[in-house]
Structure 1
Amino acid sequence: MEFDRLKGKFTIQQVKMLNPLVLAFIGDAIYEVFIRTYLVDKNRELSVHKLHIEAISFVKAHAQSDFMKFLEDKLTEDELIIFKRGRNSKSGTVPKNADLQEYRIATGFESLLGFLYLTEQIERLNYFLNMIVCLKENNK
């Protein structure tokens, strides 16, 4: 499947109507691929196990919650609405290693990424993803 086939499939209005957990489903995948690609690029000599451990430090709910707290004041009105819809969604079970509040904020974060991806706001998506990488690098 070519990514070009996805171009123009969703209008902003259609994406706004999607369940925020569907947006989080997409956002989670986009975030995971970005982080894994970043880590492989920066650490080509690491084993898969060590790459996985590094990836966890970016993708766990606690980290996503911290990133979102840093990014929240940089959101547009539409982005903030999407984030809050995702954060306030009832998703069922919370992973045993996550606190409920952090998990909900992480879900809002993933919803935001899914929204930006599906609405083809790639520059804005890259802005946030690169800001996260810089934040993580500066806090090592």
Structure 2
Amino acid sequence: MRNWQEMNALTLAYLGDAVYELWVRTHLLELGHERVKELHKQAVNYVRAGTQAQVLHALFPELDEVEQQVVIRGRNTKGGHPKNVDVVTYRHATGFESLVGYWQLSGQTDRMKWAFAKVDQMLRGEEVIK
């Protein structure tokens, strides 16, 4: 496999999207949701571009320099066509997905767990703990 640094940011986002989606589905099952219709409704709250952009804004100041560079690459890459969301929000969501893809490829599961815990806090209406 190529080095993640050589990969197109959209490729990192492609992987990050899948990793994040799997975490969301697993997490919702762990919370006790069982009905498919309810699972889908809850999952949409987690994976929509607006949520991902909000999470990125909360995380960004706590990211190291390499992580911030990954986000900026992902955010600035042109590609994809946003549906039901403005371009800026869509690009920030792509930056978040690129970051998750980077963490996956670089084996940084603790960073993913840290970030995903913040997602959960936000969606539960809790104050996000640094």
| Same fold? TM cut 0.5 | yes
Alignment of 1:95-134 (within 5 A): 95=83, 97-134=84-121
Percent identity reads 35
2: CA distance, partners of 1:122 / 1:63: 21
Q: CA deviation at 1:138?
A: 2.9
Q: CA deviation at 1:132?
A: 1.3
For the 8 Å contact 2:103–2:109, the answer to whether it is kept is yes
1: CA distance, partners of 2:80 / 2:109: 30
Q: Does 1:24 align with 2:7?
A: no
RMSD, aligned α-carbons = 1.3
Matched with 2:37 is: 49
For the 8 Å contact 2:21–2:47, the answer to whether it is kept is yes
Alignment of 1:62-73 (within 5 A): 62-73=50-61
2: CA distance, partners of 1:98 / 1:138: 22
2: CA distance, partners of 1:104 / 1:119: 22
Q: Does 1:89 align with 2:77?
A: yes
TM-score normalised by L of structure 1 = 0.85
SS state of the match for residue 138, structure 1? Answer: coil
Q: CA deviation at 1:24?
A: 0.2
